[in-house]
Amino acid sequence: VVNRAASSRGPVRAPRGGERTAKSWGAEAAKRMLMNNLDPEVAEHPEDLVVYGGTGRAARSWEAYDAIVRTLDELEPDETLLVQSGKPVGVFRTHEWAPRVLIANANLVGDWATRPEFRRLEQLGLTMYGQMTAGSWIYIGTQGILQGTYETFAAVARSLGRDSLAGTLTLTAGAGGMGGAQPLAVTLNGGAVLIVDVDASRLERRVAHGYLDEYTDDLDAALARVVAARTAGEALSVGLVGNAAEVFPELLRRRHAGAAPIDIVTDQTSAHDPLAYLPIGVSVAAWKDAAASDPEDFTARARASMAAHVAAMVGFQDAGAAVFDYGNSIRREAELGGYDRAFAFPGFVPAYIRPLFAEGRGPFRWVALSGDPDDIAKTDRAVAELFPDDAALRRWLEKAGETVHFEGLPARICWLGYKERHLAGLRFNEMIASGELAGPIVIGRDHLDAGSVASPYRETEAMADGSDAIADWPLLNALLNTASGASWVSIHHGGGVGIGRSIHAGQVVVADGTALAAQKLERVLTNDPGTGVMRHVDAGYERAREVARERGLTVPMLRD
Ligand code: NAD
């Protein structure tokens, strides 16, 4: 279904500049961001409409893509387009404050929310996997995850009693759209890292984009390079072409023999979808056909390989390394593959991120529709000036400005909290109104955020009150963003950790320099992170209670 029209069209690239063809900036922005998601610089497999994260798609088919683009160009400023799993299904008269687009991706009724049923429906052309920001049109390339990954590794360093990762060696796998941020995140923290990927082209792409220093298919050579860097206290990232299910156990053997001093171990292969994880014994060239011809057998083999992969990770933990799951559900898949100690190591959210979520902090991102990198340089400076006391934020913005290679439209990410994000949004809007910036700015976020996701193997793992699987919270988040003036809002199922394992919501709001945009920005960018504080107050986190009290969030049943 997806491929039918792919061969007859050239690469997709969003229009640039301050002139629009749609009738509102809300619709124009949605159109440009959909296109930007499919820009070959941004998407992992644009010809299949796959943006990142295994099979995370931006539209259900090329016909659906064309219909969305056409509809957005014709959409009145008081109309709303509904998108059902990547297909445009209706246009309704609403009002100017309403979102221009409402999106629901991959949602299934509980008992039917299984991977085989999803695949069956997908093959019938009835649904689409939207991951988190693929089907909600706010993916910004690997940078999108870079800062969160940088923050996570900084927290790992702190947990080891260190100021940085200098003198440590990290082992990980998966150099895809998201996982590809890991090597740069480690080297920005001063460490050495070995990253394993079965697909040499992924490692090559990370080198080309400046996320990885070098790669090889020679394990001995790769190990020698990173061990030397660890000893010298130097930052270095080396990619290794290989299957993690084979390489991790081999490195564990070498560690036991004293030849692989690995301090930190994690993984970001696409384990959430066993068809996107390559089992031992299958070549990259045979992957697609093997997965398509017998998905059940492929799944069983992938799970068996994940069991070996995770058993090695647990072995590293037993040997004293810091080991954590990086949000891809590999522990559950390894358990399904027959390995019963898979949950011996924690997920990264309870281990490192939850204290940030309790303050409503999360991945605030913005994109310059002008296409002008100067707009990002100017907004970087504006954000640094807005938060002069936040040294880590300023350090990040400086490093990002120096090292991040833009993919598609110029964009930036930084983590900001409740009663912070709207200040940035309003400042950007002023800069557009005054002509300082060359065009509107799109402001959104990952669905991985403080109040927008229910995902018991990741964002809501081990909540203090046991509410891990309660999915009312992301639905309330989406409803509130819709009521607050967001430009597009989405509700997805299965992102990050796979079908049946998460429900999450996204919002994007456009700054176009108008007074109406300022009002919407103020509300959306206050209320959206506010739901994160609310959710963590409700779950009993003391820091969230303090933040609610100090920053004036009304929680009816919060008592002193
Ligand atoms: P991707 O599909 O773009 O990349 C996955 C990579 O894993 C590919 O390069 C593939 O070649 C490699 N791979 C597959 N099997 C392998 C094996 N056996 N050994 C070595 N390499 C193998 O996916 P992505 O966007 O990079 O996401 C990776 C995972 O991380 C997904 O499960 C995703 O849901 C999850 N994720 C986590 C976070 C987070 O914040 N922690 C955020 C987004 C996504």
327, two tokens: 């949000």
Q: How many angstroms separate the alpha carbon of residue 327 from the centre of ligand 1?
A: 10
181-188 helix and 391-403 helix, angle to the nearest 10 degrees: 120
Query: Which residue's CA lies nearest to atom 20 of ligand 1?
Result: 197
Residue 7's pLDDT is 55
Q: Which of 356, 414, 491, 508 is catalytic?
A: 414
Query: Which residue's CA lies nearest to atom 40 of ligand 1?
Result: 327
For 503, residues 6+ apart whose C-beta sits below 8 A from its C-beta are 107, 453, 454, 455, 471, 474, 475, 491, 492, 493
The predicted complex's ipTM stands at 0.97
Query: Which residue's CA lies nearest to atom 8 of ligand 1?
Result: 176
Lining ligand 1 with CB less than 6 A are 44, 52-54, 145, 148, 173-179, 196-199, 202, 243-245, 268-272, 276-278, 326-328, 448, 496
Q: How many angstroms separate the alpha carbon of residue 312 from the centre of ligand 1?
A: 18
To test the pocket of ligand 1, the residue of 251, 269, 283 to mutate (highest count of ligand atoms within 8 Å of its CB) is 269
pTM assigned to the model? 0.87
130, two tokens: 């939207």
Alpha carbon separation from 511 to 188, 268, 425 (Å, rounded): 31, 34, 7
To test the pocket of ligand 1, the residue of 45, 328, 349, 448 to mutate (highest count of ligand atoms within 8 Å of its CB) is 328
Would the annotation count 215 as a binding residue?
A: no
Four-point Cα dihedral 377, 379, 385, 390, nearest 10? -90
- Report the alpha-carbon distance of residue 526 to residue 536 in Å, rounded: 16
Locate all alpha helices (DSSP H) within 360-438, ordered by sequence. 373-386, 391-403, 421-433
Q: What would the pLDDT profile of 87-120 be if each residue is shown by its tens digit?
A: 999 999 999 999 999 999 999 999 999 999 999 9
For 313, residues 6+ apart whose C-beta sits below 8 A from its C-beta are 248, 265, 266, 267, 323, 345
| Residue in 156, 145, 193, 144 with CA at minimum distance from that of residue 173 | 193
Q: How many angstroms separate the alpha carbon of residue 340 from the centre of ligand 1?
A: 23
Residue 5's pLDDT is 52
Residue 6's pLDDT is 55
CB–CB of 455/350 below 8 Å?
no
| Residue in 348, 282, 342, 281 with CA at minimum distance from that of residue 306 | 342
Query: Which residue's CA lies nearest to atom 35 of ligand 1?
Result: 328
In the predicted model, residues of the chain with pLDDT beneath 50 are: 1-4
Locate all alpha helices (DSSP H) within 170-236, ordered by sequence. 181-188, 200-208, 219-232
CATH 3.20.20.70 fits 143-346, yes or no: no
Residue 4's pLDDT is 47
Q: Which atom of ligand 1 is nearest to the CA of 271?
A: 32
Residues in the chain: 560
CB–CB of 444/453 below 8 Å?
no
What are the φ and ψ backbone dihedral angles of 491, each rounded to 5 degrees? -125, 120
Q: How many angstroms separate the alpha carbon of residue 328 from the centre of ligand 1?
A: 7
Q: How many angstroms separate the alpha carbon of residue 149 from the centre of ligand 1?
A: 13
Query: Which residue's CA lies nearest to atom 3 of ligand 1?
Result: 176
CB–CB of 79/91 below 8 Å?
yes
Active site residue 414: yes
Would the annotation count 277 as a binding residue?
A: yes
Q: What would the pLDDT profile of 53-69 be if each residue is shown by its tens digit?
A: 889 999 999 999 999 99
Q: Provide the 3-class DSSP secondary structure of residue 383.
A: helix
Q: What would the pLDDT profile of 478-516 be if each residue is shown by its tens digit?
A: 999 999 999 999 999 999 999 999 999 999 999 999 999
Residue 528's pLDDT is 98
192, two tokens: 């050495």
